Chain A
Amino acid sequence: MNGKRWLRNRIPFLLINILCMTALGSFLLITGNSRDAVWLILIVWTLILCAGLAFSFLTRKRYFERLLRMAEELDERYLIPEVMEEPFLAEDLAYYRILRMAERSMLENVGDIKRERAEYREYIEQWIHEIKTPITGIRLLCDNNRSDLTRGIMAEVEKIERYTEQSLYYARSENTQKDYAVREISLLDVIHGALADNKYLLMQENVCLELPEKSACVYSDEKWLRFILDQLIVNAVKYARKTPEEGTQGSQVDSPQGATGTEPVIRFLTEDRGEYVTLSIQDNGMGIDAADLPRVFEKGFTGQNGRKVQRSTGLGLYLCKKLCGKLGIRIEIESGTVGDRMENGEIQQTGMIQQVGTTVKLTFYLNHLIHEVQEK
């Protein structure tokens, strides 16, 4: 509470007091009292008045500070009328009533919106489950009539699936309850699953894949992890470097080894460090601008490359980060021009100065869950 302002509010009251003091002083002087006596009375009056004002200011101040503290401690600030006691002063009581009214209408609104959101979420999940039936139908129809046409259709169907999955996980990521199950899973199996999800895209783009020899076990949710890998694989393909001179047509004839240097490569590396397991997904794409790097996990952030290459939703990495957060996986991203980070030196052999594209590193802490249990 601002003291100055409070004092300014008291000006009418003080004016009345001064008026009364002058009136009383004049009256006493006229009736023949000594000057000293009048001064004494006026000084005592002033002192009592000041003490009264100070006392009332301090109690008011303490009262409001307590209310403020109470409000700050609440998660839902608008619930303050529920915890404050009914005030004694008439004005306070009026304000209290107004607060209660505001609270009630707020609660109604919040309830309505919560219900609407839950219904909408339910509808979205329902819709996603329903759309999967026709997608399955298309998949089967294409599989039974394989040709270049159906392969083209399948690549598009994969995109549809990807978008539906994305919206499903978006709806789920908003949810606070845990709807995942952690169990022991083989990283290599999840990688294979994610590659199968994007088979047609990867075949279409002629992506060269490098997988780890040995699998590592982690404790996580398979479906969520697979979704995360899907996003990362699609990103790697989306931001692959495409040089117009060496497209997909010419490269088959003159390079029987299958490595043209401009071919997109996605490399999966696992590392088991006992305490934790890391999975890195490397590509040789265009990389990410250093200025954009800190913001790639933000919702709706597309960055320079996102605008350059294709329409980018800015949702993929945001969802990855969010789901990783829920699963207790650390996700890091780096991008650079350092050549020596390539481990088997394969790319340098082509005689080109190659950039290492983007590397996304997932770190699974094996005892993360144990910590979580201990905390509870």
Chain B
Amino acid sequence: MLHKIMIIEDDPVIRTELQTLLKANGFETCAVTDFDRTIREVKTEDPHLILLDVKLPGKSGFYLCSEIRSFSDVPIIFVTSSSTDMDELNSIMMGGDAFITKPYNTAILLAKIRSLLRRSYPEKQKGQLTWKGAILHPEEGSLEFEERKAELTKNEQKILYYLFTHAGTICSRADIIEYLWDSRLYVDDNALSVNINRIREKLSGIGLTDFIRTKHRQGYLI
């Protein structure tokens, strides 16, 4: 099931780009454009999570939050450009679940959204990933192919996870490195080559050859 995220944000660029970003990361989105009817829209759309800007035309985000809290327990993430402690305190007092300051790192924003959704809607864990007969188990950090398993290090597991979630498309080295950095693994270009080579060795050890293909000057493809 797709989680629906509602964006309450007055800056049109941020609004549409946030929608693009969230859709690309597997969320359903809706956005409020008429801020006089925000509450009604929240009621009709009934989202799973709300991204709420603090500074809005008319009513402030804090006020909206307390209004929403009167009828719903939907998780709310406050997004603001002000980074004072007063605002953070206010957001908690008004019933917000998380607080994030602009300009945010999108990786951090997505991580916050995911962890909040996981906490609020505990349901089936999308555990393993499958592609061309190979099964990746992110929790136990291993890759399975025809009943044979290879143990992976954290770096290798993250690289494979990225490739699996982008299966069938070419992943550029820079994209993979950026993903690793966002996962707090500070791997440089050389180390990525080393890791890819090691993954290939492990894969051929369990009978998977040519699973990761190198696209010259473009990146990797599975």
Contact = CB atoms under 8 A, between A and B. Distances in A.
Interface of A: 129-130, 132-137, 139-141, 143-144, 146, 148, 151, 157, 161, 179-181, 192, 195-197, 199, 202-203, 206-209, 211, 223, 251-252, 255-258, 263
Interface residues of B, number: 35
Contact of B106 (A139, A161, A180, A257): A139
B24 interface: yes
A68 B212 CA distance: 85
Contacts of A257: 190, 194
B102 A252 contact: no
B194 A144 contact: no
A151 B193 CA distance: 20
Given A140-B18, A151-B178, A157-B103, 15 more contacts: A132-B102, A132-B103, A139-B103, A139-B104, A139-B105, A140-B13, A140-B17, A140-B20, A143-B21, A144-B20, A144-B21, A148-B174, A179-B84, A195-B184, A206-B188
6 smallest CB-CB distances across A and B, nearest first, come from: A140-B17, A132-B81, A258-B190, A137-B13, A209-B186, A136-B103
Contacts of B191: 258
B102 A196 contact: no
A54 to B, nearest CB: 65
Given A144-B24, A148-B174, A196 B182 contact: yes
Given A135-B103, A136-B102, A196-B105, A206 B189 contact: yes
A133 B189 contact: no
A376 to B, nearest CB: 20
Contacts of B106: 139-140, 143
A7 B204 CA distance: 107
15 contacts: A136-B81, A137-B17, A140-B18, A140-B20, A143-B106, A144-B21, A161-B103, A179-B84, A196-B105, A202-B186, A203-B188, A206-B188, A208-B188, A256-B190, A256-B193
Contacts, number: 100
Given A140-B17, A196-B182, A181 B104 contact: no
A256 B14 contact: no
B63 interface: no
A202 B186 CA distance: 9
Contacts of A146: 174-175, 178
A199 B181 contact: yes
B194 A133 contact: no
Interface in B179-203: 181-182, 184, 186, 188-191, 193-194
B30 interface: no
B108 interface: yes
A144 B109 CA distance: 14
